Structure formats: C-alpha cells, structure tokens
Amino acid sequence: MVYTARDASWGFPEIKLACYPPVAAVVLATLIGQKRAAELVLTGRQFSGDEAAAMGLATRSVEAEELESVIERTLAELRQLSPVALAHAKKAIYVWDAIHFDKGLARAEKIYLDELVSTADAREGIIAFLDKRPPKWTGK
C-alpha cells in the first residue's frame, strides 16, 4: 500500500541525466500500463500525488496534514489481523510479479551497466548535474 500527499512531487527524472531507472523500467508497465510507463520514464516529467493515485502508483492521496493519521488508521486495522495470514496473502499477491521482476530487472540492469553507463551522454549528464549546469548531449 502506498499513501501520498496530494501535492507531493513524483517522478522518474533519471532520463534528464542520460540515465534511466532500471526498477521503474521493469515494474511500471505492470502497474500502470506500458504507454503510461514509457511516457513517465522517457520524459522524466514530475507529477502530483493525486496523479500518482489516479494512475495506480499510489493507493490513495490525501492532504499532507492527513497523511500520518490515514497511515496510522490503516496500520491499526492491519494490527487487528493475523500476521501470518497477512504475510501469506502478501506473498500470494506478489508471486506472479516477482517471477517476471527478477528476469526483467536482470536485463534492465545489464543494459544499464554494460551499455548505457559507458556512453559519453551518461557521463555528461551526471557531471552536468553535479556542476549544476545544462548538459551538452553528443548522442554518443
């Protein structure tokens, strides 16, 4: 379960540094669909907690001042339930995704580490970020 403040800032900005988020690249399509996942990963745009909830990245969005109490109420409800039953239910809910996640993440990390990190643009993106300047892309 994921709770967020309505006005929280969400995003996957790595592409702006000539990188990408390997975990998000693998998981997002399952959570929100391939087209929406591609839009978020490929543009790096920021979006609100309300939008995160609307697209299924968050369970619920609430006013920032309500967030802690909403979480506490949910935890209180969960504490009334069997811990072993909750653990098994959680395992069952995520078993299918886990099978695909392991393989997908291994591939995404291989692309990231073996191909992307050695590019001039990846180095430039990170250096430009650290130097607090716009990057100068070469496409290499």
Per-residue pLDDT of the chain (140 residues; tens, 9 = 90+): 999 999 999 999 999 999 999 999 989 988 999 999 999 999 999 999 999 999 999 999 999 999 999 999 999 999 999 999 999 999 888 877 667 788 888 888 999 999 998 999 999 999 999 999 999 999 99
Asked if 40 contacts 12 with a C-beta cutoff of 8 angstroms, the reply is yes
Could you tell me the CA-to-CA distances from 65 to 5, 53, 60, 71, 77 in Å, in that order?
Answer: 8, 17, 14, 11, 20
- Rounded to an integer, what distance in angstroms lies between the CA atom of residue 134 and that of residue 124? 10
The domains located in the chain, with CATH, are 3-131 (3.90.226.10)
As a whole number of angstroms, the distance between CA 124 and CA 37 comes to 25
